[in-house]
Structure 1
Amino acid sequence: MSDEGKQRKRVGRRPGGEDTRGAVLEAARAEFGARGYQKASMRAIARAAGVDAALLHHYFGTKDRLFLAALDFPVDPRAVVEHVLAGERARVGERVAAFVLGLWEQPAVRDRLLALLRTAAASEEVAALVRGFMATELVNRLAGELDLENPELRVELVLSQIVGLAMARYVIQVEPLASAPADQLAPLLARTVQGYLAEP
């Protein structure tokens, strides 16, 4: 290959690597922040990072997984939906309560979730991002599988229980809720969730 050809080959999109991954995440945060979750596109993020769109799919697969990585989101909503829908509908409340409390009781996961909650509470921009993401990837997916009246509202009421519990137990630390064992809370939370997701 000629010197000119070699030079042409070097010019163009950034190759893969750890610094490339960081550039993609930085571009993703900027794009999601500017356009919101629904309107941000993988192509635009790739363009801003100076990489081919195929590289984003190689690293992250889908837009929702890129969002999870960009915001360091510790929970995959697809896994939540699968877990909620697995098994008997008569025990959906138990599954949700056990899953949620299991997550929150892990210090590393709890720290990341609380950081996200606090940031969303203080920043409308972050709140809008999280809201759009959760509506698309969790609420709509789960509601679409529920044969109930007002399924989106019911799923959002479950989210309100989970966020409210997190704020009261881990942020405000209201007693005796803050120090109650998780296995004491689980059946109480399960009953409420069961009413939202399973009862007519």
Structure 2
Amino acid sequence: MEPENRRTAGRRAGDSGTRAAILDAAREQFAAKGYDGASLRVIAASAGVDTGLIRHFYGSKDDLFDAALEIPQEFTQQLARAITGDPEHAGARLVETYLSLWENPASSGALLAIVRSAIVSDRAADRFQAMLTARFLADLAPYLGGGDGPARAAIAGAHLLGIAIARYVVRIGPMAEFDRATLIAWCAPTIQRYLTGPLD
């Protein structure tokens, strides 16, 4: 009779838990090694499943890679909500919401994996760019009004991405050491200008 705690190959208990475990493992591997360096075998071992389950839930390695780099829609929806309301303080609300997503354990892991993958992999960078256009820019631009909404969203997004890379990925000097209130105070006026000020 097998010991009760022995892991068996195949389907883990609960499809949703299995899918999440595979996705978490994939994000870790793609973030660390890029698309070419990550293998389904290592991802499966890290998730505690066999490779057949990866194919069952996600199909090919390409499909798993796309899923691992997907920006959860609720992230961009929270950012979009941050710039509604009083336009004079939209910049501060957007920076605060953005930093809170990066510092929330429920969302920081996915964001780190997405950005790290984009840094080390051309394929990931292309995918990330496409998703930013489809999600971030598409969700924010309508709230900025006028024909320059997409441009405003793009430059604000580029600035915020640079902050995230310096603070959370590369951890450059003071950027990684500022408390959130200080960083908001420094960055909000510039983001505010991108959102509502003159662009020329």
TM range, smaller chain: 0.5 to 0.7
Q: Where do residues 40-59 of structure 1 align in structure 2 (5 Å cutoff)?
A: none
Q: Identity over the aligned pairs, expressed in percent?
A: 28
Deviations 1:60-105 (A, max 9, x none): xxxxxxx5xx5464553223212322x1111100110110121222
1:90 and 1:194 in contact (8 A); partners too? yes
Residue in structure 1 matched with residue 83 of structure 2 by the alignment: 84
Aligned equivalent of 1:155: 153
Task: Normalising by structure 1, report the TM-score.
Answer: 0.62
Task: Give the SS at the match of 1:144.
Answer: helix
Deviation by residue 1:91-144 (Cα, 9 ceiling, x = unmatched): 100110110121222345333312211111111212222211221122023213
- The Cα shift of 1:175 comes to 1.8
TM-score (norm 2): 0.62
2:62 to 22, 27, 30: 30
Match of 2:124 among 123, 126, 135: 126
C-alpha distance 28-136 of structure 1, shift in aligned 2 (>3 A):
farther
Q: Which moved more, 1:169-178 or 1:73-82?
A: 73-82
Rg: which structure is higher? 1
Which residue does the alignment assign to 1:18?
15
- Report what 2:194 is aligned to: 196
**Kindly tell me: are residues 73 and 149 of structure 1, through their superposed partners in 2, closer, same or farther at Cα, counting changes over 3 Å?**
closer
- Which letter maps to 1:145? Y
Q: Which of 112, 134, 137 is the matching residue for 1:136? A: 134
CA distance in 1, matches of 2:129, 2:75: 15
Q: From 179, 182, 191, give the equivalent of 1:181.
A: 179
Q: Secondary structure at the match of 1:178?
A: helix
Q: Which amino acid aligns with 1:26?
A: Y
Is the CA contact (8 Å cut-off) linking 1:91 and 1:194 kept in structure 2?
A: yes
The one-letter code of the counterpart of 1:197 is L
AA in 2 matched with 1:173: R
Maintained 8 Å contact 1:154/1:197: yes
Aligned residues: 149
SS in 2 for 1:104: helix
Query: Structure 1's 125 and 145: CA in aligned 2 closer, same or farther, altered over 3 A?
Result: same
Cα deviation for residue 192 of structure 1 reads 0.9
Please, which of 89, 95, 98 is the counterpart of residue 97 of structure 1? Answer: 95
Describe the shift of the 1:180–1:76 C-alpha distance in structure 2 as closer, same or farther (beyond 3 A).
closer
Structure 1 residue 28 displacement after superposition: 8.1
